[in-house]
A and B are shown apart, each in its own frame.
Chain A
Amino acid sequence: MTSNPQIPNPHLQNSSSQSLNFGSKGLRHGSDSEGFSMSRRDLNDDDARLLPQLAVFGRGASILPLASVLFVTAVKDAYEDWRRHKSDKIENNRMASVLVDHRFQHKKWKDVQVGEVVKISADETIPCDIVLLSTSDPTGVAYVQTINLDGESNLKTRYAKQETLSRVPEKDFISGLIKSEKPNRNIYGFQANMDIDGKRVSLGPSNIILRGCVIKNTDWTVGVVVYAGRETKAMLNNSGAPSKRSRLETHMNQEILLLFFFVTLCVIVSACAGVWLRRHQDELDIMLFYRRKDYSGGQVENYNYYGLGMEIFFSFLMSVIVFQIMIPISLYISMELVRIGQAYFMIRDDKMFDAASNTRFQCRALNINEDLGQIKYVFSDKTGTLTENKMEFQFASISGVDYSGEKTEFYGEQGGYSIQVNGEIWRPKMKVQVDPKLLKLSKTQNETESSKEIYDFFLALAACNTIVPIVVNASNPNEKLIDYQGESPDEQALVYAAAAYGFMLIERTSGHIVIDIQGERQRFNVLGMHEFDSDRKRMSVILGFPDSTVKVFVKGADTSMFKIIDESLNLDVVRATEAHLHSYSSIGLRTLVVGMRALSVSEFDTWQTAYEIASTALMGRAGLLRKVAINLENNLSLLGASAIEDRLQKGVPEAIESLRKANIKVWVLTGDKQETAISIGYSSKLLTSKMTQIIINNNSKMSCKKSLEDALITSRKLINVTHASEDDASSVALIIDGTSLVYILDSELEEQLFELASKCAVVLCCRVAPLQKAGIVALIKKRTDDMTLAIGDGANDVSMIQMADVGVGISGQEGRQAVMASDFAMGQFRFLVPLLLVHGHWNYQRMAYMILYNFYRNALFVLVLFWYVLYTGFTLTTAITEWSSVLYSVIYTAIPTIVIGILDKDLSRKSLMTYPQLYGSGQRKESYNAKLFWVTMVDTLWQSVVAFFIPVLAYWKSDIDSSSLGDLWTLAVVFMVNIHLAMDVIRWTWISHSSVWGSIIATCICVIIIDAIPMLPGYWAIFNLAGSGLFWISLVGVLIASMIPQFVVKMFVQHCKPCDIQIAREAEKFRNSMEITRSGEIEMYLPHR
């Protein structure tokens, strides 16, 4: 094969930039998040050098905060990149077997080039998109599993072309040219042609196997690479996870008002400076403290004075520099650090550790932790997310007898049924729990009427399916396992169940099947098969028995089966079975009904002629076959019914219940059949029998419109009734299928669907394609402000995961695409509850508080600086030393906010889990909203006034110097912000104690060190200050007076309008004692009264 040189190196790289770039990325990051950071850097670095006017701070002092921000951001980005690189590396370095010099050699995935011939063995993952050349099957068939691509777990067939399937690449030299369309993301389409041996062969979707698929049931396949690396369809579908920003952060940016505030301060200062200069215009030349003129040189000239306009402009720039602390740069860095800390705790949480798969929670995105506390909608995949994707045969009802007796841990004799073949033991791969009574009956063959029916029932289960048994080696050399492979997991479960009861399917070809019945091999001719279709909702197989009788076995959904069962045969059995079916499905089991009829010779002949005509017909073959089937499938005698459980993951109903109580709407979006989806809905307690179901299945836009309108009317009516009766059990569930959604999404009907869906308590979408899942998420995202979360495990959930505000991947058994695309990944669906209710709540509370607190602490400091500027002729002098103003956000106040932001807990895990409604505080944005922001700002204003003016008035007309007063302000402000924080800390651990009090001590030490440097104007000020009583009295006065208003407001709010969190906190504290007092109250209080 010739390789196409135009196709670039397929080396994979998921991560957005190489690790070497992280420095520049850090810079970019800083500027992304805050436009001001760059201008600030410029000011300090460049302008300040050019204009001595602006050298407010020394070089070192001005560069320190930005340097620390950049450093921490760079380190964090480097770490994230490194992590992503590591996972890329694993993927890149997987081995593929590639034809080199007429031999298949191992080559890393990243080195596989377009045009190379690769060989893939069974159960291996395809490294790139390949066109099939040949397979181990002589007819050139390969079975592939596409679960990674579209989430469907059944096997699909792919074909090698006639022209190539007999070639053996190691021996034959074959050459050809494949011309294919450009790489695209359509996983269902492929168009190409291949010139081989002078012939042109067209290639279609059935000839290509895509990257990420797994070869099954086929020993090997050989193919030629057409797309590799990033150009594979899987990667194209996967590319460009949109970067997410947390809701809180976006809201925070809305407080651009803060910037407005900041600019206002600067404008006030520069305007006042202008007025001041203008008023003293004539005095400035020789003014003792201004001295505009420089007399030292030959001629008298202006010193550092460029005219009134420029002076105003300079004062504006200087005020920008002096008040820069207001700009929440330190906030961004604190948020990043806090998120890392929160991620650490989420990862380390034992309650989210999946012991079964030994996986911990994964935090893949580090910037949306707090969104977890505000989720209103959860979009969940079904298979593999709610369920384990493992079907298990549970109960059987055979001729009216219910075998749902107690299950034993004991799996039949000697750990399950097995047979001896050529000295080897063959046993089914999966063990099924059996009902001992039924097992016993099934062993007594044909002795009684009931055992005969049991025989037929299990024979039907073993025969009436499309399962292919495959014998695989077991760990024990004397043992072989039979693996049943097939499209339907339900059928697999039934065949395994039949095997467990001694009806082991051993071989299936198109002509016959071999079943080992209780140790005796029997061969049945498969005379015909009517496959499952969605109209009939059943399938049938016509078996020729060894004694040359012919019987038809039919298996299907109960609704379709009871229509064709001859009730006259045994009415009691039918009634009993119906009752059993009802009880099975009410506990969420998937039921199937099995029937049988013996065919007379004439009946068989009629059928056979019709069948042969139909199956060879060129036109309308499917319709003809269906007709034949319907003619055959009637007057059946009922054999029984089976109940299969698609086992829900552990704790799913409880989790859904908790989410519902937390006022989170859970929508299930599944590719499954509607019936399955509904039954899972019931078993997961998503649907209850009290709910009214609105089902929308339509095939045209008009009918969609009509049913939506009808549904809206119904739902309005129901909701009105609900309001009247105060009974929220009678809520509405919407069930809608993918075909209807095709007509609704991206059309004007969207609006109606949204209106309807928002009225419904539950929404189930069945048979939806991956992109439709994303469409539904977008439907909500576009129209509401509510946070959405999507959770799924398969590659078909990727688009939905990326679309939602928060994407959660289940690290299931198969496929990592969902995890790769997700923001968070975990092992089990039920971990969603601790993730949202506990960690989400904590993260939100912590982050919201931290943001408010950061605004407060920066604004407070800036305001104190501002007030002083009013007393300096508006010249931006700071009484607080420049080092203190730089260290303020780096050392004095930085650590406690981060520590509290990581560690403080408003409520214990137990309370949050017990009262899911506490989650509502995040949904209602209780901890961070515009009102709270402005209240905080007013409080900040008050505190700054107190902090500034109490010392001013206390030292008015005294001989205090500015350095001493600056130290007093420094200490007062730092103490204030730390005490303010301390008053809001809810849980004091030794770490919070040491950080809060530690930073107060650190501040004192820093102030002392700064004042011990003789070269600074404030030398020894703090020592002189601390010796005076006035200092201490003012300091204490400032601290108390500043805290009183917020304390009073907090008290009154807590007393009069306690929020949920407050109540729960008190409950946590008093619950135990309350229970005691309630019981002991009478004895305790009576004697006193």
Chain B
Amino acid sequence: MELGRQLMSMDVDGGGMPVDNHPAPLLRGRSKAIHQFTQQTLPACKPVLTPAWVIGTFFLMGVIFIPVGLISLHASESVNEIVDRYDIDCVPDTFKSNKVAYIKNASTPKSCHRYLKVDKPMKAPIYIYYQLDNFYQNHRRYVKSRSDDQLLHGLGYNKTSSCEPQAFENGLPIVPCGLVSWSLFNDTYSFSRGTKSLEIERKNIAWKSDRDHKFGKQVYPFNFQNGSLIGGGKLDTTIPLSDQEDLIVWMRTAAFPSFRKLYGRIEEDLEEDDIILVHLMNNYNTYSFGGTKMLVLSTSSWLGGKNSFLGVAYIFVGSSSILIALIFLLLHVKNPRPYGDTMYLSGNRKDISS
């Protein structure tokens, strides 16, 4: 087989072969480069895709993609997660038919207990996420309703028209303003295993860059959640925004209507068949728009959380590459085509056929 007779090579086209009879002037250096440029004869590499190249490329892709896919799949498999939807179960039976009334009523008890069974051992750190579904944190009205300048500069910054309708309350500016902060998630969780409560690390859950540069160290919440309509959590007015990590996490708006946000970390390993008691305060109103709430405990791998999609996709792409390589190889062996034979040009084809 003569597939790989030619590989890519550098060549200067048109350089030494003047078509007309006035020869290309002998030039040097700069003027030669300019001449090559204007005559469009700059040295160029012109790769031509030969069967060898094509088959080789696809084969190589297969060889690389399948192992990467397998590794990714393995990484995803190694992650264990516990997902628990609690928004319905945590509503007392009497309010089952009118969940909104329950959640809006400040006097009803909001506390709730959940038991989580650990199926597989989980190694620390175990990440605690809350997951909201059907919550459009990327809704246009929502994402625009914030003022990044105010988050950094506090009350000193007053061009907060973007925060409407949550910019002023009772004539006073709100810090932090806008729908995003107003709707701050405020369910709380605490965990215990057996009788011993599990320590939750709630620090360093937000990006360091946000804490350092985006949220002011001297900016304290002001006039927050003081209106007639309470959206979500309240903020401790003695803590500067840069340390309000729940707010910082919340303000990094999620990409999709189903999203998880980090709540904290458990720095202890969980053993198989451990029963975890979750004590939670079911404060956040997702009932009014049909949203759901879930609690997620998950370990992590180098590839993030539990998601086998990439691994499968890689294996699929890799194996189809190899398949294509094989088909093309077969095609080439069965039905080879002379490459670069000018006899096949359309003007000449007639002569061949007759």
Binding site for B on A (CB under 8 A): 280, 283, 286-291, 293-296, 303-304, 345, 348-351, 355, 661, 726, 842, 871-873, 875-877, 879, 903, 905, 908-910, 913, 915, 917-918, 920, 950, 952-966, 986-991, 1014-1017, 1019-1020, 1023-1024, 1028-1030, 1033-1034, 1037, 1040-1041, 1044, 1048, 1050-1052, 1054-1056, 1058, 1060, 1063-1071, 1073-1074, 1077
Contacts and interface: CB of A to CB of B under 8 A. Distances in A.
A283 B289 contact: yes
B139 A877 contact: yes
B280 interface: no
A1030 B354 contact: no
Nearest to A987: B44
Contacts of A962: 137-138, 143, 253-255
B172 to A, nearest CB: 10
Interface stretch (B85-93, B195-203, B234-242, B342-350): B342-350
Given A288-B231, A957-B259, 10 more contacts: A955-B255, A956-B307, A966-B255, A988-B44, A988-B47, A1015-B149, A1030-B310, A1037-B317, A1063-B345, A1066-B339
Interface of B: 5-6, 13-14, 17, 19-20, 22, 38-40, 42-49, 51, 54, 61, 65, 68, 72, 129, 131, 135-143, 145-146, 148-149, 152, 164-169, 179, 182-183, 207, 209-210, 213-214, 227-229, 231-232, 252-262, 285, 288-290, 302-305, 307, 309-310, 313-314, 317, 320-321, 324, 328, 331-332, 335, 337, 339-342, 344-348, 350, 354
17 contacts: A288-B142, A289-B137, A291-B179, A293-B229, A350-B22, A872-B257, A876-B140, A910-B14, A953-B310, A957-B258, A1017-B253, A1019-B209, A1020-B209, A1030-B310, A1041-B317, A1058-B337, A1073-B6
A289 B141 contact: yes
A288 B51 CA distance: 59
B139 A290 contact: yes
Contacts of B302: 1029
Contacts of B261: 959
Contacts of A961: 252-255
Contacts of B136: 289-290, 872-873, 875
Most A-side CB within 10 Å, residue of B213, B302, B303, B304? B304
Contacts of A915: 342, 345, 347
A871 B304 CA distance: 22
Contact of B255 (A280, A960, A1019, A1034): A960
Given A908-B14, A962-B138, A304 B340 contact: no
Most B-side CB within 10 Å, residue of A877, A1068, A1070? A877
A873 B310 contact: no
A1060 B343 CA distance: 10
B310 A286 contact: no
5 closest cross-chain pairs (CB), A and B: A1066-B340, A917-B347, A1020-B209, A294-B165, A875-B140
A1028 B342 CA distance: 51
B148 A1014 contact: yes
Contacts of A294: 164-165
A350 B35 CA distance: 9
B337 A1030 contact: no
Given A283-B288, A1044-B321, A1069 B148 contact: no
Nearest to A830: B20
A954 B312 CA distance: 11
Contact of A959 (B45, B61, B259): B259
A283 B303 CA distance: 38
A1033 B354 contact: no
Nearest to B71: A1033
A873 B228 contact: no
B138 A871 contact: yes
A976 B129 CA distance: 34
Nearest to A953: B309
Contact of B42 (A918, A986, A990, A1056): A990
A1055 B51 contact: yes
B340 A1030 contact: no
A171 to B, nearest CB: 58
Nearest to B284: A288
A958 B148 CA distance: 24
A1037 B179 contact: no
A872 B140 contact: yes
A367 B166 CA distance: 54
A920 B165 contact: no
Given A917-B346, A986-B46, A1073-B5, A1055 B256 contact: no
Contact of A345 (B40, B68, B310, B328): B40
B342 A1044 contact: no
A1074 B5 CA distance: 10
Nearest to A988: B45
B142 A290 contact: yes
A302 B149 CA distance: 26
B251 to A, nearest CB: 8
Nearest to A913: B19
A1063 B149 contact: no
Given A988-B46, A1066-B339, A296 B227 contact: yes
Nearest to B337: A1055
Contact of B340 (A350, A952, A1051, A1063): A1063
Nearest to A873: B136
Given A289-B142, A1019-B214, A1020-B210, A1044 B317 contact: yes
A1044 B5 contact: no
Contact of B165 (A295, A905, A1020, A1033): A295
Contacts of B309: 953-954, 956
Given A289-B141, A991-B42, A1068 B313 contact: no
A1014 B340 CA distance: 57
Most B-side CB within 10 Å, residue of A872, A876, A1015, A1073? A872
A836 to B, nearest CB: 15
Contacts of A1016: 148
A553 to B, nearest CB: 44
A957 B131 contact: yes
Contacts of B213: 1014, 1019-1020
Nearest to A1028: B304
B168 to A, nearest CB: 5
A136 to B, nearest CB: 46
A1017 B250 CA distance: 12
Contacts of B43: 989
B337 A1069 contact: no
A1063 B342 contact: yes
Given A871-B257, A956-B309, A1037 B314 contact: yes
Contacts of B149: 1015
Most B-side CB within 10 Å, residue of A965, A1054, A1063? A1063
B286 to A, nearest CB: 8
A304 B148 contact: no
A1030 B304 contact: yes
B229 A286 contact: yes
Given A873-B257, A1037-B314, A1048 B143 contact: no
Given A873-B139, A875-B139, A879-B138, A296 B20 contact: no
A1014 B256 contact: no
Given A1044-B317, A1073-B6, A296 B168 contact: yes
A291 B141 contact: yes
Contact of A1037 (B13, B207, B310, B332): B310
Contacts of A303: 164-165
Given A348-B39, A1048-B324, A287 B288 contact: yes
Contact of B332 (A288, A1055, A1071): A1055
A605 to B, nearest CB: 63
B340 A1068 contact: yes
Nearest to A918: B345
B260 to A, nearest CB: 5
B331 to A, nearest CB: 7
B72 A871 contact: no
Contact of A1071 (B135, B148, B340): B340
